[in-house]
Amino acid sequence: MAAKKKIIRLEKCPTGIRGLDDITRGGLPRGRPTLVCGGTGSGKTLLALEFIVRGILEFDEPGVFMSFEETPVELAQNVASLGFDLDGLIRGKKLAMDYVYVERSEIEETGEYNLEGLFIRLNSMIAATGAKRVGIDSLEALFAGLRDEGVLRSELRRLFRWLKDKDVTTVITGEQGQNELTRHGLEEYVSDCVIFLNHRVVNRVSTRLLRIVKYRGTSHGTNEYPTMIDEHGLSVLPISSLGFDYPVTSKRVPTGIDRLDAMLGGKGYFSGSSVLVSGTAGTGKSSLAAAFANSACSRGERCLYVAFEEAPAQITRNMASVGFDLEQWTKQGYLRFHAVRATFCGLEQHLGSIIKFVTEFRPSVVVIDPVNNLSAVGSSEEIKAMLTQVIDYCKNQGVTALFTSLTEGKNAMEQTDVGVSSLMDTWVLLRNVETASGERNRLLFVLKSRGMAHSNQVREFVLSDHGLQLTDVYVGDGTVLTGSARLIQEAQNKARAEEQRREATRRQRELGQEKSLVQAQIETLRHKAAVLAEDLAALARYDQSRLETATRDRAELASARQVD
């Protein structure tokens, strides 16, 4: 035996339950019992039953389910909504179920006994189906039905050994105890893997959590993982196990507002980044979010809009007033709303449903409007933790996430109520300014945007029928003017400019006239000069001919005198 040095790794048995196989790194220990414990309604029975049914459906491993609490008919009804056809599986000889009825008042204990009856029942079911998996829910009913705890405990020990010998992977459920994991200390017998399900109610909102208390011989996630029960059954969200190793791209996503793109290095947000839009009430956060959603949809990309405050119909109507026809995108399937009150469920469930939607719908853009509403169901730290997980998940999927956050008036502007700004790559701040002319105008500026040269300018954010526009604010004389004050100032500036233009034209005209006058004088003088030149030439010619004549006359005179 010692010669065999081959290390046999612990073989795992995948449960098929979403997320559970991730945090157990592959499933439950194969051929060994696993204890699932938790309080009433924590989902123990569902976990055990799903383990069996998914084993049959997904891994072709027949299973046996022994229930002490619910009859097969009840169980079949319970899981029919999940699409599990227990009767069909039983007919197909893939599943065997047994309801064990233990009623103390019917039982008289008269001496030594053992639980061979249970063993025989399990054995005949395992033999009939060729089962690889066994679910037992929950053995603790035996403690209520039988008085002799000593016998019971030794028989349970024998049962677990027997199940191991049968080489079946078993899930046993147990009710949560006061000071122990289970009421009757079942964890004492199951040493390989213990899973604890918790059902907590905080602020009147319930949250399901799953934790692996121990898993001998393997590494596993140790956190409490949010767990959900929905129409697909149980799912565990292994999000806290996500790391920082997501892909990073320098691709950009337009914001839906040209001038804002220009302010963000000319191209918009980074694809797969997290964007925070914060501001006080009525500053246009949702409109900015809608612009982003609208632009994504018009490019033929999908957008998930998580609305905590308004119904989809209301958002659609309101955004139509600023020129965004969101209805067409909903109809064409580019836009999906997930509208739910923040107080509807716990943070974990919100997180779970957001992640579920992202996984199913595969959007390129997610809008969550607004995040601070979540403070009704959790503390700042919890919300921050939850949003971290949303952001991490989105980044892993390359999804650009835009969050809006309402800043209450009493707080500083550069602060969000839920303290999430440090998680964000880009932070666009919206604020209202009240002007001397008695109006409130919206201002927008980019507070930060990691990894890009962004504008330091404050812009006025104008909502109109034609959409959203950013305009320059009037900055001069040490004041910032917006709204009608800006318009008045601009009109004045325009008038002044007009005046200056006219003045310049007049000056030009004057100079032009003066120039043409001078030109005319130049012309006259040039004419005079030409005349003088002509006179001069004529005079020269005359002098020359007179000189020639005189010379000839002198010669003629000499010739006449016969000079030699």
Partner 1 sequence: MTKKRVQTTAEVLEAAGLAPKDQLYTLRLYVAGLTPRSQEAIRTVTAICEGHLQGHYELEVIDLYQHPVLAKDEQIIATPTLIKKLPLPLRKIIGNMADLDKVLVGLDLRNR
Which parts of 116-155 interact with partner 1 (CB under 8 A)? 116-118, 120-121, 123-124, 142, 145-146
Of these, 112, 165, 231, 245, which contacts partner 1 (CB under 8 A)?
112
> Under 8 Å CB-to-CB from 519, ≥6 apart: which residues?
none
Strands lying side by side in the sheet with 365-369 = 335-339, 303-307, 365-369, 400-406, 274-279, 426-434, 440-449, 459-464, 467-472
Min dist CB 124 to partner 1, Å, is: 4
Which parts of 89-108 interact with partner 1 (CB under 8 A)? 98, 100-102, 106-108
3-state secondary structure of 494: helix
Binding letters toward partner 1, positions 35-74, x by CB under 8 A: ----------------------------------------
Closest of 195, 225, 226, 197 to residue 212, by C-alpha? 195
Of residues 119 and 344, the one with the C-beta less far from partner 1: 119
Of residues 89 and 193, the one with the C-beta less far from partner 1: 89
Min dist CB 166 to partner 1, Å, is: 15
AA letter at 199: H
Of residues 100 and 481, the one with the C-beta less far from partner 1: 100
Of these, 11, 58, 109, 535, which contacts partner 1 (CB under 8 A)?
109
Min dist CB 53 to partner 1, Å, is: 20
Of residues 145 and 185, the one with the C-beta less far from partner 1: 145
Closest of 96, 100, 183 to residue 134, by C-alpha? 96
Which parts of 379-418 interact with partner 1 (CB under 8 A)? none
Min dist CB 131 to partner 1, Å, is: 15
Closest of 94, 87, 145 to residue 117, by C-alpha? 145
Min dist CB 112 to partner 1, Å, is: 5
Of residues 110 and 219, the one with the C-beta less far from partner 1: 110
Of residues 98 and 192, the one with the C-beta less far from partner 1: 98
- Does 468 interact with partner 1 (rule: CB under 8 A)? no
Min dist CB 165 to partner 1, Å, is: 17
Q: Which tokens sit at 493?
A: 């500036």
How many residues are there in the chain? 564
> Under 8 Å CB-to-CB from 381, ≥6 apart: which residues?
none
Closest of 480, 482, 493 to residue 460, by C-alpha? 482
Of these, 71, 77, 114, 415, which contacts partner 1 (CB under 8 A)?
114
Of these, 3, 111, 244, 560, which contacts partner 1 (CB under 8 A)?
111
> Number of residues in contact with partner 1, rule: CB under 8 A?
24
Q: Which tokens sit at 505?
A: 């034209």
Of residues 112 and 231, the one with the C-beta less far from partner 1: 112
Q: At what angle do helices 285-298 and 312-320 cross, to 10 degrees?
A: 90
Of residues 104 and 502, the one with the C-beta less far from partner 1: 104
Distance of CA 55 to the CA centre of its chain: 33
> Under 8 Å CB-to-CB from 109, ≥6 apart: which residues?
146, 147, 148
AA letter at 209: L
Q: Which tokens sit at 211?
A: 């934790």
Of residues 97 and 430, the one with the C-beta less far from partner 1: 97
First-to-last CA distance in the chain? 166
Residues that bind partner 1 (CB under 8 A): 98, 100-102, 106-118, 120-121, 123-124, 142, 145-146
